[in-house]
Amino acid sequence: MKQGFVLIEILFASAIASLISISLFAAFYQANRSTQILDNIIEAHTNIIILSNLMEKDISGAFIPLQVYEDKKNKKEGDKKTDPDEKKSKPALTKIFFSSNQNGMLDILTFITNNPLQGYWDDETGSLKPRIARVVYHLREEKGIGSKKSYALYRQESSNLDFEAFKKDAAQPVREYQVVDRIKKLSVSYTQEITKKEQTTNGEKVTKEYKKVDDWDTDEPGAVNKDTVVSKLPYSVSIDVAFWDMKKERERSFVVTSLVFTNTVEGATA
Instruction: State pLDDT tens for residues 151-181.
Output: 999 999 998 889 988 988 887 888 999 999 9
Number of domains making up the chain:
1
Rg value, the chain, Cα: 29
Q: Is the pLDDT of residue 268 over 50?
A: no
Q: Report the 10 Å Cβ neighbour count for 262.
A: 14
Q: Is residue 92 part of a domain?
A: yes
Our measurement of the distance from residue 250's CA atom to the centroid of its chain's CA atoms, rounded to an integer in Å, reads: 22
**251 found inside a domain:** yes
Choose between 30 and 121: higher pLDDT. Answer: 30
Please tell me the predicted confidence (pLDDT) of residue 125: 61
Has residue 267 been placed in a domain?
A: no
Residue 265 lies in a domain: no
264, part of any domain? no
Residue 17 lies in a domain: yes
Q: What is the pLDDT of residues 11-59, one digit of tens each?
A: 777 778 777 777 777 776 666 666 666 777 888 889 999 999 999 999 9
* φ and ψ of 231, to 5 deg: -65, 135
Q: State the amino acid at position 248 in one-letter form.
A: K
- Whether 145 and 171 have beta carbons less than 8 Å apart is answered as no
Segment 247-263 shows an average pLDDT of: 87
In this structure, is residue 247 part of a structural domain?
A: yes
DSSP states along 225-256: BTTEEEBSS-SEEEEEEEEE-TTSS-EEEEEE
The yes-or-no verdict on residue 231 having pLDDT over 90 is no
Question: CA-based angle 140:107:65, to the nearest 5?
Answer: 115
Q: Considering the domain boundaries, does residue 269 fall inside one? A: no
| Residue numbers of the domain that contains 48 | 9-259
